[in-house]
């Protein structure tokens, strides 16, 4: 049995490792594109990580130099096989795709794409405004929700009017029921279904009593394996709650697989630390009869004056997420008639 992995591919070479337990000679591997062998090499390069993992003496790495430069558009279709067989080495999921997409974007600069590394909601796409027009025409997005979704696309945050101002004592005493009622409210439900393309599910809630939070993104609090698929709702219980949004931050080019962005890490040059002095903050006053909807990549903070708390809710698309979120979560309000769910 051959063990190994195909880890990296560029236009010039393919890298990885291959090992045959009990075989004295190193394995010969071949890079194949459309049934053509485009390069081959012995898997005899020493790799300390393999030696530490007990893969023989560690001399099992390979670097296949291609016989010719490969067009980046074909990199996702290259496979690595052991000579004389059809079995392919397992491939790293991202190998070659960065170069592939870069080539596509150079050839078709207007093509829509996700801004983040791991994808996300359709509102995170570069062509989201055009998609919104099409979704509105075919009825996927109701006309009543379209203006709010458009605001979310262009500004990274949007204000949603409520039928009635939430009462602090009621929310504190029965958070799950109040959250479920909010998600069931027809206007809110239609909006969240439009943004998430699914029924909404509340999975986290935290109270902000006084002071200010650090700059952060909704993705960093998303407990699911898809950090880009979430929005946050901010509810103010008083007139002293302000959201400071870094202008255009939802258009920055990434939030990574763990939901964190380099733009919010503590450093002298990051966007969050520079935003205040450079005047790049847009401040939104959170009204008591409205909810602020914050997109997944938006970098923002919340400031609460004394006596005016706020509640922040993380909302995910349902999509079977009940089995993916934190196992300690308890379903407090499930299978509502609308399909909305609350896990907090």
Same domain, 71 and 209: no
Report pLDDT for 138.
93
From the centroid of its chain, how far is CA 316?
A: 11
pLDDT tens sequence across 242-270: 999 998 888 876 776 666 776 666 554 56
Report pLDDT for 93.
66
Report pLDDT for 94.
65
Same domain, 135 and 96: no
Give 181 or 226, the one with higher predicted confidence. Answer: 181
Mean pLDDT, the chain, integer? 85
Is 303 inside a domain boundary? yes
Same domain, 88 and 139: no
CA distance 151 to 112: 19
- CB count within 10 Å of CB 229 equals 23
Whether residue 332 has pLDDT greater than 60: no
Give 338 or 174, the one with higher predicted confidence. Answer: 174
Write the CATH number for 235: 2.60.120.620
pLDDT tens sequence across 5-54: 999 999 999 999 999 988 889 999 999 998 899 999 999 999 999 999 99
- CB count within 10 Å of CB 214 equals 10
Same domain, 74 and 145: no
Is 117 inside a domain boundary? no
Same domain, 58 and 183: no
pLDDT tens sequence across 268-317: 456 565 565 455 889 999 999 999 999 999 999 999 999 999 999 999 99
pLDDT tens sequence across 41-89: 999 999 999 999 999 999 999 999 999 999 888 888 899 999 877 788 9
Is 188 inside a domain boundary? yes
Is 86 inside a domain boundary? yes
Identify the domain boundary among 46, 74, 103.
Answer: 103
What is the number of structural domains in the chain?
Answer: 2
pTM: 0.67
Whether residue 122 has pLDDT greater than 90: yes
Same domain, 99 and 126: no
Whether residue 232 has pLDDT greater than 50: yes
Report pLDDT for 11.
92
Long-range contacts of 147-155 (CB under 8 A, 24+ apart): 148/191, 148/293, 149/123, 149/191, 149/194, 149/195, 152/123, 152/195, 152/231, 152/293, 152/295, 153/123, 153/128, 153/129, 153/295, 154/129, 155/245, 155/250, 155/282
Same domain, 134 and 95: no
CA distance 40 to 78: 12
Same domain, 162 and 296: yes
For 112, phi and psi rounded to 5 degrees? -70, 150
Report pLDDT for 331.
39
55: containing domain: 3-103
Same domain, 86 and 211: no
Identify the domain boundary among 55, 72, 103.
Answer: 103
pLDDT > 90: percent of the chain: 57
Identify the domain boundary among 103, 131, 153.
Answer: 103
Same domain, 39 and 142: no
Same domain, 248 and 332: yes
pLDDT tens sequence across 95-107: 777 777 677 767 7
Is 111 inside a domain boundary? no
Lowest mean pLDDT among 128-137, 159-168, 245-254: 245-254
Whether residue 163 has pLDDT greater than 90: no
* Contact by Cβ (8 Å): 205, 324: no
Is 182 inside a domain boundary? yes
Write the CATH number for 81: 2.60.40
Same domain, 145 and 289: yes
Report pLDDT for 343.
66
For helices 186-196 and 146-155, the axis angle rounded to 10 degrees is 50
CA distance 202 to 233: 10
Is 112 inside a domain boundary? no
Is 109 inside a domain boundary? no
């Amino acid at each position: 049995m051959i063990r190994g992995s195909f880890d990296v591919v560029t236009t010039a070479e393919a890298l990885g490792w291959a090992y045959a337990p009990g075989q004295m000679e190193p394995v010969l591997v071949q890079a194949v594109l459309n049934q053509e062998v485009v390069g081959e090499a012995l898997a005899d390069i020493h790799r300390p990580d393999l030696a530490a993992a007990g893969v023989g003496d560690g001399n099992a790495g390979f670097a296949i130099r291609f016989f010719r430069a490969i067009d980046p558009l074909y990199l996702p279709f290259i496979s690595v096989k052991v000579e004389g067989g059809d079995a392919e080495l397992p491939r790293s999921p991202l190998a070659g795709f960065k170069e592939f997409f870069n080539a596509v974007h150079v050839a078709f600069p207007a093509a829509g794409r996700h801004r983040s590394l791991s994808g996300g909601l359709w509102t995170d796409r570069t062509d989201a405004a055009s998609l919104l027009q099409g979704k509105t025409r075919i009825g996927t997005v109701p006309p009543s929700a379209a203006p709010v979704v458009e605001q979310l696309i262009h500004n990274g945050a949007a204000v949603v009017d409520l039928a009635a101002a939430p009462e602090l004592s009621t929310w504190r005493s029965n958070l799950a029921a109040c959250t479920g009622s909010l998600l069931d409210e027809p206007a809110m439900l239609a909006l969240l279904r439009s943004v998430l393309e699914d029924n909404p599910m509340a999975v986290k809630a935290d109270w902000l009593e006084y002071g200010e939070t650090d700059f952060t993104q909704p993705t960093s609090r998303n407990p699911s394996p898809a950090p880009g698929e979430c929005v946050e709702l901010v509810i103010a219980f008083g007139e002293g709650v302000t959201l400071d949004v870094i202008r255009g931050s939802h258009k920055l080019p990434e939030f990574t697989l763990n939901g964190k962005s380099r733009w919010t890490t503590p450093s002298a040059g990051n966007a969050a630390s520079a935003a205040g002095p450079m005047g790049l903050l847009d401040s939104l006053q959170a009204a008591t009869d409205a909810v602020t909807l914050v997109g997944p990549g938006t970098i923002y903070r919340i400031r609460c004056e004394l006596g005016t708390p706020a509640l922040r809710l993380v909302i995910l698309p349902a999509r079977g997420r009940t089995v993916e979120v934190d196992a300690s979560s308890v379903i407090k309000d499930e299978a509502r008639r609308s399909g909305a769910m609350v896990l907090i």
